[in-house]
Amino acid sequence: MPHLVPPNSLLCPRWIIPVEPAGAILEDHCVALRDGLIEAVLPRADAESRFSSHVKVDLGEHALIPGLVNSHTHAAMSLMRGLADDLPLMRWLEEHIWPAEMKHVSPEFVKDGTLLACAEMLRGGITCFNDMYFFPGAALEAALEAGMRVSLGMVVFDFPSTYGADPDDYLAKGLALRDQWREHPLVSFCLAPHAPYTVSDATFRKVAKLAAEVDVPVHIHLHETEHEIERSLAEHGVRPLERLERLGLLGPGLIAVHAVHVTEGEIALLARHGASMVHCPSSNLKLASGFAPVAKMSAAGINIAIGTDGAASNNRLDMFAETRLAALLAKAVARDAEALPAHAALHAATLGGATALGLETRIGSIVAGKSADLAAVRLAGPELSPCYDALSQIVYAAGREHVSDVWIAGRHLVSGGIVANSPLWGLDTRSKLWQNSVRVGS
């Protein structure tokens, strides 16, 4: 069994990377936790005196960072990891993923797939994920069993599925789930119309009206491929973003996922409306969607977040890999080595994601009063030595395998690299049973 520390603890790492203020690295400081919150961040000598009754946790080789926020994923699709690789998006969806979903997706599938995803994400320092998938109630159940913070998509399509009969049915089920769980401290919600090519104008109008009424973000795939834009021009006479603007969906609550193919004017439009963009670099590369102009978006003032997308199109739920890749691609696309520097990349993976989800006052940085959602990364060993700058080391050299400990709302969920809670044990057997079922049914 892993060694777990009690809720009222004093974490004393070698470095604290608080994300706020930008670029800060605190040495010889400690973080006091009490009742699930960050009580204080202060110099070690003061901390040891003021919090002498707390259990001290020495993290002498570690950097303590905010828990990573996976701002876009389809967690249950972990059970489809590797099912249909090396295909373009629409062939991948229409010929493989959607048919498999119609045959196999159920509440049991979603719960087991989400548990599998939670185990992977927790071990990699991810403490919050923004999910878009069928049967969100099953995903919620899995996330809470895992102890994770989750933003659930009230998903809507214009076509039927095993989960919903029509747009009204999808929305009614999503809103009922939100009404039931909206007060839970680890749960929040987004309206999640899948994409411009799967949702009609009438449904988008309903989503815009509901988003204003219940005050939740709108999470949508947008401008992911050139084909999506060509189809929108053929069917609606305008590009997808202009269509959404006409339908009243642009605003500070819009979470535009991918946003690969955007013009200068569209970047300015997203910035003017205060929208967020979720960058999914590995998925964009694997599906050959293209290169998002992240540096231009950031320079325009658009809030940038990072997501893994689902394991079926990545195939890893690895925010360390995504953050490093986001920083490197931004430089190559902009032809500017100073584009998306390490502190901005880590901001996108933490506070940027929290901001997109409307959770920036609760998570995303190591600040007194926020929830104790934290990850300790051991910066030791030949692959991480020497360490001139701990923040740069986190972004450019460290990997999820270096995460030793994770806390969510002060609860110690990963200790010494081992997931501590029993609902996440024995998942290999369950995933193999689903693999056999999907293989036979495909």
- Looking at the fold, whether 36 and 165 belong to one and the same domain comes out as no
- Looking at the fold, whether 297 and 378 belong to one and the same domain comes out as no
Q: Of 356, 373, 407, which residue constitutes the final position of a domain?
A: 356
The per-residue pLDDT for 3 is 63
- Looking at the fold, whether 56 and 89 belong to one and the same domain comes out as no
- Looking at the fold, whether 61 and 72 belong to one and the same domain comes out as no
The per-residue pLDDT for 10 is 97
Residue 349 within any structural domain of the chain? yes
User: Which of 376, 351, 349, 345 is closest to 363 using CA atoms?
Assistant: 351
Residue 2 within any structural domain of the chain? no
The per-residue pLDDT for 429 is 59
The pTM (predicted TM-score) of the whole model is 0.96
Q: Which domain holds residue 370?
A: 9-65+365-424
- Looking at the fold, whether 249 and 394 belong to one and the same domain comes out as no
The per-residue pLDDT for 2 is 61
Domain count, the chain: 2
CATH of the domain at 400: 2.30.40.10
- Per-block mean pLDDT, blocks of 10 residues, the chain (442 long): 75 98 97 98 97 96 98 96 89 89 92 95 98 98 96 97 97 98 98 98 98 97 97 98 98 98 98 98 96 98 98 96 98 98 98 98 98 98 97 98 98 93 71 66 48
CATH of the domain at 199: 3.20.20.140
- Looking at the fold, whether 249 and 392 belong to one and the same domain comes out as no
> Do residues 384 and 390 lie in contact, with contact meaning Cβ atoms separated by under 8 Å?
no
What Cα–Cα distance (Å) separates residue 71 from each residue in 132, 151, 256?
10, 9, 11
The DSSP letter of residue 371 is B
The per-residue pLDDT for 427 is 73
What Cα–Cα distance (Å) separates residue 3 from each residue in 24, 123, 264?
30, 15, 52
Residues in the chain: 442
The per-residue pLDDT for 93 is 87
Residue 437 within any structural domain of the chain? no
